[in-house]
Amino acid sequence: MFETLLPPEPDKILRLMAMFAGDPRPDKVDLGVGVYRSPEGRTPVMRAVKEAERRIWEAQETKSYVALTGDAAFLDAMRELILGDAVPAARVAAAGTPGGTAAVRQVLEMARRLTPEATVWMSDPTWPNHPAIADHLKQTRRTYRYYDTATGGLDREGMLADLAHAKKGDLILLHACCHNPTGADLAQADWAEIAAICARTGAIPFVDMAYLGFGDSLEEDAEGTRLLAARLPEVLIAASCSKNFGLYRERVGVVLVVTGEGGPTLAAQGTLANLNRQNYAFPPDHGARVVQTILGDATLRDDWRTELRAMRETMLGNRAALAEALRAETGSDRFGFLAAHRGMFSLIGATPAEVTTLRDTHGVYLVGDGRMNVAGLTAETIPKVARALAEVLARADAPA
C-alpha cells in the first residue's frame, strides 16, 4: 500500500527549526518559531504552573479517565475566563481538546456536520493551519481582506465589504487578539461592526483565541469575543492555553459553543462529546488540571496574572525598542507600525527572497512570508536585527 505514497510537503516551521539548529553561527537569531522567550532567551515554566503541578502530584490518586469532554471544573474555569458574565453558563457547551489546533478542528468538524454547504471565511492572511484544516475537511472557504500592507494596519473598509457577502450559516473566522501572523488587531468598534453583519446575514462568528492576555490585558483581549456572545445567538470559540500558561507541550485546548435560548446547549454538548469520541476519545487531563488548579486558587491566579503581565510587557518593550532602532537605522518611521501591533507576531513586509537573505547573510530567521516573532528578540539582538532589516529591505527599495 505504500509503494505509491508520496511524502507531504514538510511543515515550514519545523523545517525552519531544523535549519536554525544546524546553523553554527553563534549570533544567529530565531524569530520564526512561535514560542514566548524571556529576556534571557528561555521559554520558562511559569511559577504558578510549577506550584499547581506540585499540588496535583501530591493530591492526585488516580490516572483513570475523566469524561469525553474533559474535566467539568476546567471547562467552567475556561468559560468564565473567556466569556465572563457575557452570557449565562446554561447557554454554553464546552469540551476539552488536545491544544488549540484540535479545538479549531472540532469546531470545523461540527460546522461541516451541521451545515455542510457553509463557507468558512478566513482573514487574508491567517494562521496556516486554518486553511489546511478546512481543505482537509473539504470545506468551502473564502478569504476576506484584513491587512493593509501599506500602513501595517487593518483594512477596515475592505474587511467589512467582503464580510457583507457572507450567507446564513457561514462561519466568519476571527482572531480574538494578537492577530497571527500580522499583529494588527480589531478595535472594539470593529467587533461591533462584525456583530452587526452577523446579525444581519445570519453568519456565525468563529473566534480563535490563542493569545489571551498577550495583547493588552486578559479583560481587554476578551472584550471582542464577549461582545459577540452578548449580542448574537450563536458564537463558536476555539481557545488554547499554550501561550498564556506556557503549556506548549501539554496540549491544553477548549471548544466553547454559545447557543441560543431554548435548549440547544444539551444537543451541542452531546455533539462535542461525540466528536471527541470519534477523533481521540478523552482529551488530555494533566495540563487542563494545571489550568483549573491555577484559575481556581486566588493566590495562584494572582501570581499567574502577574507573570503573564510581565511576559506581555516584555513583548511590548521589544516592539517599541525594535521600532526605535529601525527608525535610527533608516531615518524614517517606515516600521513604526511594529510598536502599534500586539502579541508575538508581526509581518515585517519582507519577500521570500529577502527572508532568505536575512537568514543566509545575517543569521536572522523568519518564516517565509515575513512573519516575525518579537518574543524572540532580546536587548542584545535588537540592534543586529534592526541593522539586518534596514539593510535588506532598504536594498529592495533602492532604484534599479
Amino acid at 363: G
Tell me which residue has cell 527572508.
355
DSSP 374: G
Query: How far is 179 from 190, CA to CA, in rounded Å?
Result: 14
- Fill in the DSSP letter of residue 174: E
Distance of CA 197 to CAs 21, 158, 191, 225, Å?
46, 14, 10, 15
Q: Cα separations (Å) of 372 from 33, 148, 261?
A: 9, 17, 43
Catalytic residue among 184, 210, 325, 390, which? 210
Interatomic CA distance for residues 138 and 196, integer angstroms: 29
The count of C-alpha atoms lying within 13 angstroms of the C-alpha of 385, restricted to the half-sphere facing its C-beta, is 29
**Rounded-to-integer distance, Cα 253 and Cα 207, Å:** 13
User: Could you say which of 30, 118, 127, 339 is catalytic?
Assistant: 127
Annotated catalytic, 127? Answer: yes
**Active-site position among 208, 229, 325, 390:** 208
Q: Which amino acid, 143?
A: T
Is residue 347 within a helix (H) or strand (E), and if so which, with residue range? strand 345-347
Sign of the alpha-carbon dihedral angle for 103, 107, 109, 113: positive
Known catalytic residue at 192:
no
Cα distances (angstroms) measured from residue 322 to each of 34, 37, 184, 306, 361: 18, 16, 16, 24, 20
Q: What is the CA radius of gyration of the chain?
A: 21
Is 72 an active-site residue?
no
The question of whether 148 is a catalytic residue gets the answer: no
Q: At what angle do helices 286-295 and 72-83 cross, to 10 degrees?
A: 60
Say if CB 362 and CB 388 are below 8 A apart.
yes
So which residues are the catalytic ones? 127, 208, 210, 243
